[in-house]
Amino acid sequence: MLGLFKKRRSHAGQAADALSVPVVRWSAEDVYTARMATENSLVVGASGAGKSTGSGRALALGLLGNAKAGMLVCCAKSDEVFRWEEYCAATGRTADLRVMRPGGPWRFNPVSYELAREGAVGAAENVVGLLEAILECADRQGDSGGARDDEAYWRRATKQLIRNFVDLLILATGTVTIDALYRAVISAPQSLDDVRSEQWRSSSFCFKLLTEADKRTKNSSQEKDFALVADYVLCEFCTLSPKTRSVVVSCLTSQLDPMQRSVLRELFGTDTTLTPGDCENGAVIVCGLPTQVYRETGVIANAVLKYCWQRCMEGRRIDAASRAVFLWCDEFQTFASSRDAAFLAACRSSRVGCALLTQGVPGVYAALGGGDKGRAEADSIFGNCGLKVFHANSDPQTNEWASRLIGRTLQYRASGNHSHPADDQVSALLGLDWARENGTTSGGFSEVMEAEVEPREFTRLRTGGPDNGWIVDGIVFQNGRVFKASGRTWLPVQFNQRA
């Protein structure tokens, strides 16, 4: 049976071995610590298999209650916010909970944050990266696949557009807003005739920015930046073919549009009352716009928080007493991005871990664009999850993958044979093989390599609920570890949904 440890000392009293605190006990002899959790975890199971209420619940309570971890929680399911409110209440962490939702006190301006973030190098590139992340997740919602190689030109052209107009805003005003970026782009010259036109110059917000940037005092680096921006706006951009220019502009403006409206404007376009860095002090930030309810708006909100949080944690400064911090993504395929593989590969050194829950590997492959590139990115993510918990699943690809991961061992197979004279009809009729005379019997053993856990076994795991006595079965695999309870790298574990 699964056992959760009792509440330990507060962060203020944590010693240098803070990562040694236990998170979950898989068996009486096998403990999963916060240090192990920073090596990332992957929980896989079909819808209704009990991954969220089984191993997911155990991990969440352990990270909150024992490790006192700071967390960012991305939400897909409509009840996810309520679940984390329960988790925080059960572990005494309600005071640390920050739910970003309409009408609430918590807001975050990501553009201002990326411009001013401590330790950031190249403010414009920080904003460009943020907007790229928004474009990628919005593209995925539009079924353009987030990582398709055939869109390479349009991605590069859109990124060039963003970079130049972000630089223009910084040079002219010292800051960037989504609204100002939109206005600058749509008022840019459409031809060389516009550039020479007094009417365009007098009415264009873009030209006003160019004039203001030209008048401002600039250092040598800013002078070079301004020359590049002016050449792009007044020479290159306006001489693009109308079709090309309209596509590039539409790629940007159509995806910025949700950020300028209603919920996203309220939560991400005004002031800032929380930042991703608050997690280092124990905040549990929950994106209260689940994608099942808010659709594209929810996807963008979660993507913005996730991107800025990852960027913040990549530059984190730690010492012996630094708190462990985690990203939590249930329905991970909804939030997967091309940046995740690189983040998971390096986050452990910053005392940061990720807990990813998903139905199976095909969904993540598809979310990352499919094809060889998408599969390679997904496999890199899976490979950087030191812990994997498998629950009931009927997807053959996922079950085969899990079986191969656990591996094959040398096993013995017995064989036997008995022959009898062809004319012994009576014994043959009665099935009395032992009574036949002059027969020949042989037997033997052979060594074969067989899967330790056959794919079919994952279809037989219990899924919790009243029919199973609220017990969820899981098979736990941990890279580089032999479980004492099983003597193998994998261990069958039972999770009580009501414990």
218-250, pLDDT tens digit by residue? 899 899 999 999 999 999 999 999 999 999 998
The C-alpha atoms of residue 284 and residue 96 are separated, in whole angstroms, by 6
Which residues of the chain fall below pLDDT 70? 1-16, 118-123, 137-151, 409-449
SS3 291: helix
Domain positions in the chain are 11-108+278-401, 110-262, 408-451
The C-alpha atoms of residue 167 and residue 181 are separated, in whole angstroms, by 10
Residues forming a β-bridge with 412: 447
CA-based nearest residue to 351, from 322, 394, 310: 322
Which residues lie below 8 Å from residue 490, measured CB to CB, with a gap of 6+?
406, 452, 453, 475, 476, 477, 483
CB 411 within 8 A of CB 447: yes
Residues in the chain: 499
Question: No. of H helices and E strands in the chain?
Answer: 19, 13
Residues forming a β-bridge with 411: 448
Task: Check residue 411 and give its pLDDT.
Answer: 57
* 3-state per-residue secondary structure call for 192-256: HHHHHCHHHHHHCHHHHHHHHHHHCCCCHHHHHHHHHHHHHHHHHHHHCCHHHHHHHHHHHHHHH
The C-alpha atoms of residue 78 and residue 330 are separated, in whole angstroms, by 12
Dig out the tokens for 173 from the structure.
Answer: 């005003």
Which residues lie below 8 Å from residue 45, measured CB to CB, with a gap of 6+?
51, 54, 359, 390, 391, 392, 393, 474
SS3 353: strand
Cα distances from 362 to residues 44, 333, 379, 397, in angstroms, run 11, 9, 11, 7
Residues forming a β-bridge with 52: none
Instruction: Read off φ and ψ for residue 414, nearest 5 degrees.
Output: -90, 145
Bridge pairing between strands 387-390 and 325-330: unpaired
Which residues lie below 8 Å from residue 16, measured CB to CB, with a gap of 6+?
320, 321
DSSP 8-state secondary structure symbol assigned to residue 358: E
The C-alpha atoms of residue 348 and residue 40 are separated, in whole angstroms, by 8
The amino acid at 337: S
Task: Check residue 3 and give its pLDDT.
Answer: 46
Which residues lie below 8 Å from residue 289, measured CB to CB, with a gap of 6+?
75, 100, 101, 102, 263, 267, 297, 298, 301, 302
The amino acid at 11: H
Superfamily of domain 11-108+278-401: P-loop containing nucleotide triphosphate hydrolases (3.40.50.300)
pTM: 0.83
Task: Check residue 449 and give its pLDDT.
Answer: 58
DSSP letters spanning 430-452: HT-GGG-TT-EEEEEEEEEEEES
Task: Check residue 183 and give its pLDDT.
Answer: 94
CB 493 within 8 A of CB 26: yes
CB 461 within 8 A of CB 391: yes
Cα distances from 165 to residues 204, 209, 246, 267, in angstroms, run 14, 10, 16, 24
The amino acid at 458: F
DSSP letters spanning 147-188: S-GGGHHHHHHHHHHHHHHHHHHHHHHS---HHHHHHHHHTS
DSSP 8-state secondary structure symbol assigned to residue 281: G
Which residues lie below 8 Å from residue 201, measured CB to CB, with a gap of 6+?
207
Dig out the tokens for 385 from the structure.
Answer: 């999850």
